[in-house]
Structure 1
Amino acid sequence: MPFVVYNLENAIDTFFKEGGASSSRIQCDDFVYQRYGERNRPTDIQGSNSYTVITGPSDNRIIQFREQDALLDMRMLALAKAVHGEVVPGCSELGWVGDPNGSQLAASEMDRLPGENYILAHPLYSSRQSAKRQTSFFAQSWQFGTPTSSGLADMSAIITECYDRFNNLANTLPERFLTVVTEIQAALPALLDGCYPVVLTHSDLNEMNILVDTESGKITGIVDWPGATILPFGFALYALENALGSMTSNGWKWLDEAEELRDAFWRALRSQTGGLSESQERLVKLAGKAGILIRYGTANDSGFLGVIGARGPNMGEDFRYLDALLF
């Protein structure tokens, strides 16, 4: 599978040409200038459903323009802020840009968090630090617990979503993965019994959405929260596995110390969650497998909410991530 070199201008052009919005890049840039009296510059990494720029005194503001089918859920963002604190940006809505009779873009203002996108920064420091620093992020969700008071945790909808996802995977994945799918299907009643925590879950916890300090490896920001949902704890643990290795042109390559770092993560998680029982840890690890299956086994246009699938819609898509991370 050939690797595609990311090009910032191409990414921006693609968003405005293929997104179907009635507003242009010039209109968005003018919106920023009229509001702040400052020119802007695009962030180094752009999302597929948004146009994001930096502006303000000392470049301390992020202005993001999003398509209507990928809007920020301000209640979910407030929950993320309550769970994870300073690594989640504050955000306010600014209005709409574009033809009112067309598909406008929603504008929002966010704090610009310090740090660099992990995908750009990771060659500058040891991935050991990233794996270690993720523990606190995941532990915060466990410690916060099921956010029932937020009105965002509809258990009936969560249960239906999970069962539908794995029925879909059972019907669409190659046969070699069905044993793992069946294992997760058997675990769903325990993961969804109301005792195991269902928690705030970032839908796309990839290397572009994690900001880190390039000296220490400390996580300084988690961005791009549209699509965040409530799911069993552990469905986003694919982010840990991504920190312990990477896909190369010759296949998946684990760090030499991957097993040592994974063990350190689990020791720290046990400590920071107040001690996981043997049965709880087994369920967390099964939830981690579930997240990997969803992340790398679900087509990215499947229509499911929550964790975003990374596989293309083509049924012949390469399944190297599943082969590497599940077996």
Structure 2
Amino acid sequence: MLAPDYQPGPWAEQWNQEIIDDFFDTTVRRKLERPDITRATCIGLAREILGTEEIEPARIQGVCSFTLISRSKGKVVQFRRHALDDDMLSLASSIYGGLTPRLSRYTFEDGNDFPIPTYIANVAPGVHMMCLPQPPFPVDKLCRTVSDLADFFAKPVQVSDQRQSARHPDGYAAPAAKRLDSVLEHPAFKRNATTATMDFVKHVREHVHLIDSLPLVLTHTDVIPMNMFANPDDGSITSVIDWDHACIDIFGKSMWSLYEGFVTYTIDDVTHVQEQRDVIENVFWTRLWESVKPRLTPEVDGPAVRASMAVGAIARYLRFRTLDEIGDNDDVASSFWRTKAFLPLLPRIT
């Protein structure tokens, strides 16, 4: 459970208000066309579900949901933009056990669903990583975190499950190559990318063919501190939440999170690199390769894994919408500048 002594920074109040307002204005009122469902409606239902008046919004809200917590009950009620994929949740639970939240879909006694997909779960153990003291974190705790992060990525490789075996008939390298070509030719990318960013994307394009050699695994597409809980005493990861877009994808595609969330950190919109970056990277990669052998080895599969990670990083922030809206949308511009800060830090593929 989130310890009461740990509070998010002053940014959280504005963040939460903007996210909640957007959820009810864009998702509920416009997309679902349910202006009758309000924040108060959801709070009332959560109180009814949990049988308590002690309900409060989560201290850190996600962009795709409205989350309420009862600390006395140790429960979370979450109203989501979209229903979650039951197969992916089941697979995540079988692979990760207690590291993932066990969500149950709420239905009324007559079997009908609330108009907004509604889920109940236990409060995640540990402390939300965005509520930990402002970075840079002590390197010993950070090393424990990235070691656990490596284990998290390696775990699906260790599990034999037919749900992870389906392969795209055309492979994954060809579509990725086509997309990289489109990014490189996009006028906004040419105009705004630094030389280092441009060179890195070209480097990835040259080696993208390697990714088809990797296994397909359950992939959490957003393994960043915003979606993680940790033990504040030793830095160990205690829970990973928000499996909205979990899917079966090429191993390594979400490992960019090491560089965005742990090798670098951001204060007041300025990205900094950890002073002991080399130590942090070494801990992660050493642990990863120890955890995936003998199925994968750094000598044979290292270039393909690094290519997959780079493809995932580029796909995350260099979306066409991002490129199309640079200059017109502050959030999009911020996303692009963060990419320019951490993307060149990713290791070369060969």
Give TM-score scaled by structure 1 length.
0.82
- SS in structure 1 at match of 2:243: coil
Alpha-carbon offset, residue 325 of structure 1: 2.5
Correspondence 1:150 to 2:163: yes
Partner of 1:181: 201
Question: Deviation per CA, 1:176-208, whole angstroms, max 9, x where unpaired?
Answer: 444433433343333124xx1121111222221
What is the SS of the residue equivalent to 2:101?
A: coil
Q: Helix, strand or coil: the match of 1:291?
A: helix
* Match runs of 1:260-271 below 5 Å: 260-271=279-290
Match for residue 47 of structure 1?
Answer: 62
* Structure 1 equivalent of residue 313 of structure 2: 292
Percent identity reads 22
d(CA) in 1 for partners of 2:216 and 2:165? 11
Kept after mapping to 2: 8 A contact 1:66/1:106: yes
Letter in 2 for 1:107: T
Q: State the AA in 2 paired with 1:260.
A: V
Q: Does 1:111 align with 2:130?
A: no
Distance 1:116 1:74 in 2: 26
Alignment partner of 1:17 out of 14, 25, 28: 25
C-alpha contact (below 8 Å) 2:96/2:155 kept by paired residues = yes
Shift of 1:91: 1.3
**How far did residue 243 of structure 1 move?**
0.7
Provide the rounded CA distance (Å) in 2 between the counterparts of 1:289 and 1:131.
18
Shift of 1:323: 2.9
Kept after mapping to 2: 8 A contact 1:122/1:214: no
Task: Determine if contact 1:251/1:320 at 8 Å carries over to the other structure.
Answer: no
- In the TM superposition, residue 210 of structure 1 has moved relative to its aligned partner by 0.8
- Report SS of the residue matched to 1:6: helix
d(CA) in 2 for partners of 1:36, 1:284 = 44
Does 2:11 align with 1:5? yes
What pairs with 1:18-37 in structure 2 (closer than 5 Å)? 18-19=26-27, 20=29, 21=32, 22=34, 23-37=37-51
Give yes or no for contact 1:133–1:217 (8 Å, CA) kept in 2. Answer: no
**CA displacement at 1:151 relative to structure 2:** 7.4
- Secondary structure in 2 matching 1:155: coil
Amino acid at match of 2:315: I
| Residue aligning to 1:254 | 273
Query: In structure 2, how many angstroms separate the alpha carbons of the residues matched to 1:225 and 1:63?
Result: 15
Partners of 2:223 and 2:254 within 8 A in 1: yes
The whole-number CA distance in structure 1 between the counterparts of 2:116 and 2:323 is 26
* 2:232 is the counterpart of 1:214: yes
Stretches (4+) displaced over 4 A = none
Q: Which amino acid aligns with 2:22?
A: T
Query: Partner of 2:4 in structure 1?
Result: none
For 1:201 and 1:89, locate their aligned partners in 2 and report how far apart those are by CA, in whole Å: 16
- Matched positions, count: 303
Higher helix share: 2
Residues 218-277 of structure 1: CA distance to partner in whole angstroms, max 9, x if unpaired?
111110001111221111112211212213457421111111110121111121112514
Structure 1 position 211, deviation (Å): 0.8
Q: How far apart, in 1, do the equivalents of 2:292 and 2:66 lie?
A: 37
Structure 1 segments unaligned to the other structure (5+ residues): 303-310
Q: Cα 1:322–1:13, aligned 2, differ >3 Å: closer, same or farther?
A: closer
